Amino acid sequence: MVQVNVKILLVEDDPSFLEIVAPIICEFGVDISLSVARSRDSAIAMLTENIFDLVILDLKIPIIDDALDADAEHGRYVLNKTRDVAGGTPLIILTGSPAESFIDAFLVHSEQVDVWGDQTKMATVRFLRKSQLDELPGVISPCIEAVRAVSYVEIRPNGKQVNLDWAQDRLIRIFVRRRGGVSCSVYRIGGGLSGAHVFRVAVWDESGAPLLNAVLKIGTREMVETECRNYDRHAQRLNERATPRLLEDIRFGAGPIYAVSYRLAETYTNTMFEVALENSERAAKVATSADALLAPWREGVHETRRTIRDIRRRMLNDEKTAKIAAKYGLNWIGSFESRPVQVRWCCVHGDFHGGNMLIDNNDAPIFIDYGDIGEGPASIDWVMLELSILFHPDGCARGSDWPTLENCSNWSDIDVFASDTSLTPYLRACRDAAHRAGAGPREVAACAYAYVLRQLNYEDTDKARALAIINGVKRFIEVAT
């Protein structure tokens, strides 16, 4: 457990009132961690730098500590800011006056939510007058007890060390409680490069019986909202066998960090990275099956004309591209990216590395992590799946003797690139799928350029191999018929 204290922020500038309220809160036990902010700016700083389980806010506060400009508008500012920087934190609003006209309007945004996974819904925003202070213990007690109960969920060791930060730990335990579980095991299966993290979680009840297996993606509010939106708009267009069923999102309990969960059959125990390393021919068959599952995204989509720059922007923005070009002396990028290529522009996964394809005992694939779904060149997913074994942190070819720089320089020739490695069947299957999906060899090569150029933006990628592939596909595109 990373953090077991119940963390409460009290925003209050009146010393005499503090002397009354602070003991009421601290009487709940030694595990209460109470922080006090005495002004608008202090409160914002604390909310930005810390995650709290509960915020108790007096509306009438000054802008800075010890100032004499206390006003309810400053508390209102904190209240609105809390929604931005810590939207998953329950709030109790204190005021000495019933006259603040905006209170009722703001309470419209309050929700009845099972915040702590105890099957009890609570208001996420509550209003309490200072004249009702005797009611404060009864208001905060359920929250404190529920936070404590979250820590009782046990995370079982599974042979692999999984380091969880405070928010990840908290959200996983809340999820387990929401599902009626008391213990779980956690495996990290991907994510991290974009700030989001993906975990496989197995949940057990108090008798030790398994309840379910799930995938949890944990990240910022924007990441999780995008994930859910993409699932609704795009992922559900695929065959139901292609994607796990969405269970719920968790928007409260860890401040600015949210989670979304999917139900996963317990037979999905391996990633494509693991299967490709163990048995390349098996991985090749899975890749072919996966290609059929993605087909609905490109059905009925006509070819069109796009520049290489359009394709690269799907992977890397202009600002980062300019920095990479300057750092590695790629002064040809501007003119090269102006070249038009024929493409099939359709819905793509956008982060189709081997860790985002899970495989069951019958070699059926399923796709996870939908944060990057959107329009793009049809072959990009398959180029990513192929090359992620080399560039992704979990890639099964990472750190090996293959590919040589000669292999990389000839990436567009699969016979040369895929030579002298046990991964040949897998590589060929990915390349074949790329050509089936795309509009032609130039699109496939341009996708390789875009994906590998992005690898130069990361510190821990093999720059020599990346540059060899980039220069090789550049030559191919310049002479391709």
pLDDT digits (tens, 9 = 90+) for 54-93: 999 998 999 999 888 888 889 889 988 888 888 889 999 9
CB-based contact 97:128 (threshold 8 Å): no
The letter for the amino acid at 174 is I
Give the per-residue SS3 of 400-459: CCCCCHHHHHCCCCHHHHCCCCCCHHHHHHHHHHHHHHCCCHHHHHHHHHHHHHHHCCCC
CATH 3.30.200.20 domain locations along the chain? 153-263
According to the per-residue pLDDT averaged within each range, which of 113-117, 184-188, 407-411 is highest?
407-411
The residue-averaged pLDDT of 126-142 equals: 90
Residue 99 has pLDDT above 60, yes or no: no
At residue 234's C-alpha, the angle toward residues 232 and 239, to 5°, is: 100
**Cα distances (Å, whole numbers) of residue 197 to 46, 72, 171, 224, 243:** 25, 39, 12, 11, 18
The letter for the amino acid at 430 is C
CATH class of 268-480: alpha beta
Q: How confident is the model at residue 5 (pLDDT cuts 50, 70, 90)?
A: confident
The residue-averaged pLDDT of 198-215 equals: 95
- In 3-state terms, what secondary structure has residue 141? helix
More confident position, 194 or 335: 335
- Check whether the bond before 377 is cis (ω within 30° of 0): no
Predicted pLDDT at 2: 45
Predicted pLDDT at 98: 56
pLDDT tens-digit map of 370-391? 999 999 999 999 999 999 999 9
Q: How confident is the model at residue 189 (pLDDT cuts 50, 70, 90)?
A: confident
Element (H, E) at 42: helix 40-49
Average pLDDT, rounded, for the chain: 92
CA dihedral 72, 73, 78, 83 (to 10 degrees): 110
Domain 6-150 has CATH 3.40.50.2300: yes
- In 3-state terms, what secondary structure has residue 348? strand
Domain 153-263 has CATH 3.30.300.30: no
Residues 6 or more apart from 124 whose CB is under 8 A from it? 90, 91, 110, 111, 112, 113, 115, 252
Q: How confident is the model at residue 169 (pLDDT cuts 50, 70, 90)?
A: very high
Element (H, E) at 121: none
The whole-angstrom separation of Cα 340 and Cα 182 is 57
Predicted pLDDT at 4: 62
CB count within 10 Å of CB 183 equals 18
More confident position, 305 or 99: 305
Predicted pLDDT at 1: 44
CATH 3.40.50.2300 domain locations along the chain? 6-150
pLDDT tens-digit map of 440-462? 999 999 999 999 999 999 999 99
Predicted pLDDT at 201: 96
Residues 6 or more apart from 385 whose CB is under 8 A from it? 272, 287, 352, 353, 354, 357, 430, 433
pLDDT tens-digit map of 305-361? 999 999 999 999 999 999 999 999 999 999 999 999 999 999 999 999 999 999 999
CATH 3.90.1200.10 domain locations along the chain? 268-480
| Nearest to 202, CA basis, from 180, 189, 186 | 186
pLDDT tens-digit map of 45-61? 999 999 999 999 998 99
Helices 380-391 and 280-294 sit at what angle, rounded to 10 degrees? 150
Element (H, E) at 36: strand 32-37
End-to-end CA distance of the chain: 60
Its pTM stands at 0.88
